[in-house]
């Protein structure tokens, strides 16, 4: 063995050997108990980010269960990531002085397809570099034709059952990117905004959004508010910046008597609560802000202005006419913004496809309460329940090109809608909805869609899957939706355990983002310290489920650990005495280390089984470095030949225990002792 451990040479060779030997396929343990994880598919539009290094958790489970003799399937794939990818591609076009509007739909789609396929190869190479032992023979892409077919079938089933419907609702609309979002995709920022107290005839009300006043179709008070009883049901003559007008006063329990003056203006086209009030009182939906973010022709001389500009101009005009009583310049409120560009979200009326969520959510709550699905860490159960109990219908329409075009056709003559499993209806009277599905709608079907479209019998054998391991930040975006659609479509839960890891932050404890310029590549870290050291550093010293900052001192410590392991191997293998004893001795020191090894096996096994990966990593580090190397090996130097069988046994067992965490170096050292047979297919060490 070389004196110095060269990770760049060791880590570059083993993955290809493993893959060619078929070790990543469940067929290597054909009689084993099925154990399945579906890899959360990374976006195909870009290289892996550091969060993807947390796939280490899944690889630990996969390698552990493979060593237990289970028939293990870790199914890889990649996500077309509709809106995200189109935004990335539009930035790419902008650098060339072009825009998406320069191309027809089919051409733009093909251009994005080619762009994604080029990037997909980069991402797959990075998965290999980090040692993630996925079964590449079963790889899927969310836009594979057979996956699309499954998604279309699910949508038609939901439509036929009345759970998918088309409706005019207020949607969260980004006027920059020209698409709507679900409630989950809106980020809220705390801001200080002027609150205007404006006069509507004899009433004064408070509002932030002066620009929507042209869409007011009523003013409302709480039915029990004694201050305004005499006005309820009356029509008021009011003065506006566009001249005299009339407005009706209604009573509705949605009004908060404590806000402002207890009077609100009702703008059904531009505020969700107002829309609901408008539905109850049969009010007109008068849209005054267009999908381009500008005021429209209903706003008179303010038409064509953007919202911010219009608000200031309207305020100035109202003050000039004496229509503003006062302004609170320090009003604190929460403003919804686009999670990609920060543009203020406009609630706008738009016909979209929605999924009714109430019944689906009840089923998803029930399976967790019954223990059919368990969530780790357990404290996330409460958050899960709260979200599902307050869930709203899910807007699944997106006004972009990249993705699965919705298989719904509108009759040009009758206006009726026809939903199919993808086939176009006969005749020329039908026009397909140009929108595509929300990416999360197709991804919510990923466990059953993948297993139904790979090898015959896989769905029956591997579904429900064993573990869904992912970041806690997508518990609602993805995990809860997989449970809802999985149960509804297949009649079975999609997975048994949900395991949620924390976020990996930058060295200063800040969230990594491209806009902040603090994104760290996991491949650069792997090249610097070694993939094994990176993997171990992510598990060691931080309680699982908690956020952790990327720590270069910890990475260096784990790099030192690989060196220590290598030096232990050199001592045991290269300096093996010729007159070695044939069996383990009964010396007190040998018995002592074997007892400690037995305890370590129990701790590591229990820790992995209970998803406490930090306990396993910490115990292994402590035992190998301090108990084995610092103490026991030093004690054996005066009786080396007698202790050699114990040294080899303990070392081999340490390699087995450590292999799920640090696969490359453990395989290399294992081969020095057991040439030919991979450590991946040995049995997990058990205690007597």
CA distance 112 to 101: 14
- Average pLDDT value for residue range 549-554: 93
Place of tokens 């990335």: 88
pLDDT score, position 688: 58
Element (H, E) at 500: strand 495-501
Paired with 505 in beta bridges are: 549
Mean pLDDT throughout 233-243? 93
Tell me what pLDDT residue 418 has.
Answer: 97
Lowest mean pLDDT among 259-263, 264-268, 474-478: 474-478
> Looking at the predicted structure, is the pLDDT value of residue 478 above 90?
yes
Least confident interval from 59-73, 380-394, 487-501, 510-524:
510-524
| pLDDT score of 464 | 98
> What pLDDT score does 101 carry?
86
Average pLDDT for 613-634: 97
For residue 91, name the pLDDT band (cuts at 50, 70, 90): confident
pLDDT at 687 over 80: no
Average pLDDT over residues 625-635: 97
Assign 517 a pLDDT band (cuts: 50, 70, 90): confident
Q: Residues 456, 461, 466, 470: what is their CA dihedral angle, to the nearest 10 degrees?
A: 0
**pLDDT for residue 564:** 97
User: pLDDT tens across 18-47, in order?
Assistant: 999 999 999 999 999 999 999 999 998 888
Q: What average pLDDT score do residues 442-465 get?
A: 97
* Of the candidates 452, 469, 470, the residue with the CA atom closest to the CA atom of residue 461: 452
- What pLDDT, on the 0 to 100 scale, is given for residue 189? 93
Specify the pLDDT at position 342. 86
Domains identified in the chain and CATH numbers: 157-177+349-371+390-437 (no CATH), 180-346 (3.90.740.10), 524-681 (1.10.730.10)
User: Where are any strands of DSSP class E within 228-345?
Assistant: 235-240, 243-251, 263-266, 324-338
Mean pLDDT along residues 122-137: 95
pLDDT in tens, 326-348: 999 999 999 999 888 889 999 99
In the prediction, which pLDDT does 631 show? 97
Q: How high does pLDDT run on average in the chain? A: 95
Do 127 and 54 contact (CB within 8 A), yes or no? Answer: no
Q: Could you tell me the pLDDT band of residue 277, with boundaries at 50, 70 and 90?
A: very high
| C-alpha span between 457 and 467 (Å, rounded) | 20
pLDDT of residue 45: 84
Q: What is the pLDDT of residues 101-128, one digit of tens each?
A: 899 999 999 999 999 998 888 889 999 9
Query: What pLDDT score does 461 carry?
Result: 98
Q: 473: helix, coil or strand?
A: helix
Quote the pLDDT of residue 506.
87
In this prediction, residue 515 carries a pLDDT of 64
pLDDT at 638 over 90: yes
Burial degree of 397 (CB within 10 A; 0-12, 13-18, 19+): buried
**Model confidence, pTM:** 0.91
Q: Pick from 671, 685, 684: which is nearest to 18 by CA? A: 671
- What is the percentage of the chain residues whose pLDDT exceeds 90? 87
Predicted confidence (pLDDT) at residue 597 exceeds the cutoff of 90: yes
Rg (CA), the chain: 31
Token pair, residue 429, equals: 């009277």
């Amino acid at each position: 063995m070389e004196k110095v451990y060269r990770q760049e040479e060791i880590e570059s060779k083993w993955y290809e050997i493993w893959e060619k030997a078929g070790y990543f396929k469940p067929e290597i343990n054909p009689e084993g108990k099925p154990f399945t994880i579906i890899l959360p598919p990374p976006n195909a539009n870009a290289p892996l980010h550091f969060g993807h290094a947390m796939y280490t958790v899944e690889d630990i489970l996969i390698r552990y269960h493979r060593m237990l003799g289970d028939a293990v399937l870790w199914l890889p794939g990649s996500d077309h990531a509709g809106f995200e990818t189109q935004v990335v591609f539009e930035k790419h076009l902008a650098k060339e002085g072009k825009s998406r509007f320069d191309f027809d739909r089919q051409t733009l789609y093909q251009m994005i397809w080619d762009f994604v396929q080029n990037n997909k190869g980069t991402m797959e190479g990075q998965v290999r570099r980090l040692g993630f032992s996925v079964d590449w023979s079963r790889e899927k892409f969310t836009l594979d034709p057979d996956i699309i077919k499954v998604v279309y079938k699910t949508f038609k089933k939901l439509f036929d059952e009345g759970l998918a419907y088309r409706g005019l609702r207020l949607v969260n609309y980004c006027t920059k990117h020209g698409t709507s979002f679900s409630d989950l995709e809106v980020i809220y920022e705390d801001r200080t905004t002027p609150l205007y107290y404006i006069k509507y005839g004899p009433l004064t009300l408070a509002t932030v959004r002066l620009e929507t006043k042209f869409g007011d179709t009523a003013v409302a008070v709480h039915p029990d508010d004694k201050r305004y009883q005499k006005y309820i049901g009356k029509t008021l003559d009011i003065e506006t910046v566009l001249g005299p007008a009339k407005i009706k006063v209604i009573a509705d329990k949605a009004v908060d008597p404590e806000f402002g003056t207890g009077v609100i203006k009702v703008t059904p086209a531009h505020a969700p609560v107002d829309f609901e009030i408008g539905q109850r009182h049969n009010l007109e939906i008068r849209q005054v802000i267009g999908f381009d973010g500008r005021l429209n022709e209903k706003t008179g001389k303010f038409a064509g202005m953007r919202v911010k500009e219009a608000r200031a101009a309207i305020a100035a005009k109202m003050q000039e006419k004496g229509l503003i009583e006062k302004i609170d310049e320090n009003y604190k409120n929460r403003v919804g913004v686009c999670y990609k560009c920060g543009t203020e979200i406009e609630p706008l009326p738009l016909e979209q496809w929605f999924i009714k969520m109430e019944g689906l959510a009840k089923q998803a709550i029930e399976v967790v309460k019954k223990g059919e699905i368990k969530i780790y860490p357990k404290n996330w159960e409460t958050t899960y329940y709260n979200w599902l109990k307050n869930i709203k219908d899910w807007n699944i329409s997106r006004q972009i090109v990249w993705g699965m075009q919705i298989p719904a056709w509108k009759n040009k003559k009758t206006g009726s809608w026809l939903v199919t499993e993808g086939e176009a209806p006969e005749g020329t009277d039908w026009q397909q909805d140009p929108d595509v599905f929300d990416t999360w709608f197709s991804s919510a079907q990923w466990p059953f869609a993948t297993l139904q479209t790979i090898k015959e019998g896989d769905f029956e054998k591997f579904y429900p899957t064993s573990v869904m391991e992912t970041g806690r930040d997508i518990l609602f975006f993805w995990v809860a939706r997989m449970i809802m659609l999985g149960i509804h479509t297949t009649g079975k839960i999609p997975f048994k355990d949900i395991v949620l890891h924390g976020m990996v932050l930058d060295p200063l404890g800040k969230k990594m983002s491209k806009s902040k310029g603090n994104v760290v590549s996991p491949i650069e870290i792997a090249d610097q310290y070694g993939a094994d050291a990176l993997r171990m550093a992510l598990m060691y010293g931080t309680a699982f489920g908690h956020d952790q900052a990327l720590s270069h001192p910890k990475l260096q410590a784990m790099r030192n650990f690989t060196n220590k392991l290598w030096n232990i191997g050199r001592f045991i293998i290269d300096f093996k005495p010729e007159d070695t004893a044939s069996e383990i001795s009964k010396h007190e020191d040998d018995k002592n280390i074997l007892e400690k090894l037995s305890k370590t096996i129990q701790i590591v096994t229990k820790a992995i089984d209970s998803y406490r990966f930090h306990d396993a990593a910490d115990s292994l580090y402590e035992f190998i470095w301090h108990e084995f190397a610092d103490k026991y090996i030093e004690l054996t130097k005066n009786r080396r030949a007698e202790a050699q069988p114990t040294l080899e046994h303990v070392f081999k067992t340490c390699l087995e225990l450590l292999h799920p965490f640090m696969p490359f170096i453990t395989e290399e050292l294992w081969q020095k002792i057991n040439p030919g047979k991979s450590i991946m297919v040995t049995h997990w060490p058990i205690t007597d």
